[in-house]
A and B are shown apart, each in its own frame.
Chain A
Amino acid sequence: MTLNILVAFKIVPDETLIKISGDKVDLNVPVKISTYDKNAIEEGLELREKYGGKVIGISVGVNDRKTIREALAMGLDEVISITPKTYADALATAKLISEEAKGYDLLIFGESSTDGGDSAVGPMVGEILGYPVITYVRRVEIQDGFLVAERNLTPEVEEVKAKLPCVISVTGEANTPRIPTLKQIMESGKKKVVAKEVEIASSSRLVNLTPYFVPRKKVIIEGKLEEQVQKVVEILRGNL
């Protein structure tokens, strides 16, 4: 059988670049595809290579052209980009994705995003559509209309089977996301992007953001190994 796959990916501020000064958080930094959503895209592409079919991407929120093109360059056939006019929380996002998610055999999400990190949108979409929900998947196979997956639920590892259509979320260890070539990046400009602006209400609200910052001494110890060791031994003796 061929597979019709929908992969959700979120465009987020690069968390490694977020600047903290005093009690201020500066989120106005370059955006990227949320780390493990790249694993979701990769899983979709690998399944398409194995079973044939199509992989469509869907992204709710920031609609940065360059980042969407990166997802297309990785190999998505098409991207649906939905921009809510006001803040959309996990449930609002799940509702928006559900409306576009009918008719697919498999919906793939990343285990967690690097901004909110609720790990919720995938399971919520599954519930709204009434599909089986299989989270934290690190290995997946399709067998006669069924999905067989290994879930990493530390400290448990579970093997499960469910009838398609299903929703899965993949872990960061499920695969290694491919890096698009220059040619793929050039060609991605020709691929289709369906852009929509929508209204949706959220039932949660971000009240406040403060840095999670613990000041440190930041002393660098360089020099000869014996001297470094001597210093650290003294520091340890003073603190244990």
Chain B
Amino acid sequence: MIVVYSTDQEKFKKLSGFAQTLSDEVIGVAPFRDNHVKKLIVAKTEDLAVETISEQRPSLVLLSEGKREVTVGARVAARLNAPFSSSCNSLKVEGGKVVVERLGFGGVVKATVELSTPAVVVIQPPDSESREFETEIHEYEGKGKMEILNTKRQTSTVNLQSAKVIVSVGRGIGGKENVKYAEELAQVLNAALAGSRPVTAELKWLPEDRQVGLSGTKVRPKVYIAVGISGQPQHLAGMKDSGLVIAVNKDKNAPIVENADYTVIADAIEFCKAITEALKK
């Protein structure tokens, strides 16, 4: 029996569809109501999700990509004394073992890992059809070990996965006030504006849902323009599959050069201003 868990309704639907290609017996656990599984247990918090997933004694637990999911998955694995793998992008069951593919070493390598069952896997599932059911819904009540004082949800500002062109800024843009030059370039190109982890999570020059990389969004636009981004492994892991990569950097020796089709050796701001003007013509 497989348990699927996600805190995102879209991902839950995809994951349930994928799980049903592996087994007829799929139980969903989520903080919301949904009808893409025969049986659903609504568990509002991480602590409750850990309890109820573990109680099902599943042979496989599938969770969608996300920080809560990774946390819940690792905890469930410890409860079930089961192996765990996160950031997987494929999964097969072979001879009673679960074989997954994932990135390793900051995104420098692809690793194939074999897990004994029961196993717990965080995965971005392949596209599979999801059916609707007359779902039997249970509410899982209880008290967790931590008290949630408040939760603030940031509104989503962009959909990077569907963008055809992305202009992405790194620390090399120099300051929050300069991000507008990259934004103007993005506008003339009809591109989405994204950033590296320092620019988003640390410095807050851009909202955090615009972070590209291993711990952010993995993107594959037709054209990716990296402005003032050094090209560390964890950033590359999120954009390597892009069509054409153009970099702008003042340093000829930055690792991005090895990972770009074209690198313009120039000042990020001067280049953005000049090319925006040229493209307007």
Q: A residues bordering B, Cβ < 8 Å?
A: 13, 15-16, 18, 20, 25, 27, 89-91, 94, 111-112, 114-128, 131-136, 148, 152-163, 171-173, 202-214, 216-222, 225-226, 228-233, 235-236, 239-240
Contacts and interface: CB of A to CB of B under 8 A. Distances in A.
B244 interface: yes
Contact of A212 (B70, B83, B108, B148): B108
Contacts of A124: 74-75, 77-78, 84
Given A118-B85, A162-B147, A203-B115, A133 B67 contact: no
B163 interface: no
A27 B197 CA distance: 25
B177 interface: no
B109 A154 contact: no
B245 interface: yes
Contact of A156 (B154, B233, B257): B154
A217 B232 CA distance: 18
Nearest to A212: B110
Contacts of B105: 13, 15, 18, 27, 114-115
A154 B74 contact: no
Contact of B104 (A117, A136, A160, A161): A117
B243 to A, nearest CB: 7
Majority secondary structure, B binding face? mixed
B211 to A, nearest CB: 8
A159 B150 contact: yes
A27 B77 CA distance: 28
Nearest to B242: A214
B93 interface: no
Contact of B257 (A135, A152, A172, A218): A218
Among A161, A211, A236, max chain B CB count under 10 A is at A236
B237 A133 contact: no
A161 B75 contact: no
A41 to B, nearest CB: 18
Contacts of A122: 74
B146 A134 contact: yes
Interface residues of B, number: 88
Contacts of B257: 218, 220
Contacts of A27: 105
Among B71, B147, B151, B252, max chain A CB count under 10 A is at B71
A16 B233 contact: yes
Contact of B84 (A16, A91, A155, A206): A91
A117 B214 contact: yes
Contacts of A163: 145
Contacts, number: 256
Contact of A120 (B86, B145, B258): B86
A136 B67 contact: yes
Given A204-B116, A207-B112, A232-B246, A158 B202 contact: no
B15 interface: no
Contacts of B241: 214
Contacts of A218: 257-258, 260-261, 263
A229 B279 CA distance: 9
Among A162, A217, A232, max chain B CB count under 10 A is at A232
Contacts of A171: 201
The 7 A-B pairs with the shortest beta carbon distances in the complex, nearest first, are A120-B74, A204-B83, A127-B78, A15-B106, A123-B74, A132-B145, A124-B78
A202 B255 CA distance: 36
A225 B240 CA distance: 27
A50 B156 CA distance: 37
B86 A229 contact: no
B261 A123 contact: no
Contacts of A226: 274
B22 interface: no
B267 to A, nearest CB: 8
Contacts of B259: 214, 216
Contacts of B106: 15-16, 114-115, 117
Contact of B109 (A121, A158, A211, A219): A211
22 contacts: A18-B105, A118-B85, A119-B70, A123-B78, A127-B75, A133-B145, A135-B70, A135-B71, A148-B149, A154-B201, A158-B150, A173-B202, A204-B113, A211-B108, A216-B258, A217-B262, A218-B261, A233-B279, A236-B189, A236-B246, A239-B244, A240-B189
Nearest to B157: A155
B274 A225 contact: yes
Contacts of B86: 117-120
Contact of B223 (A133, A172, A213, A239): A239
Nearest to A120: B74
B278 A90 contact: no
Contacts of A228: 264-266, 271
Interface string B192-219: 0000010001100000110100110000
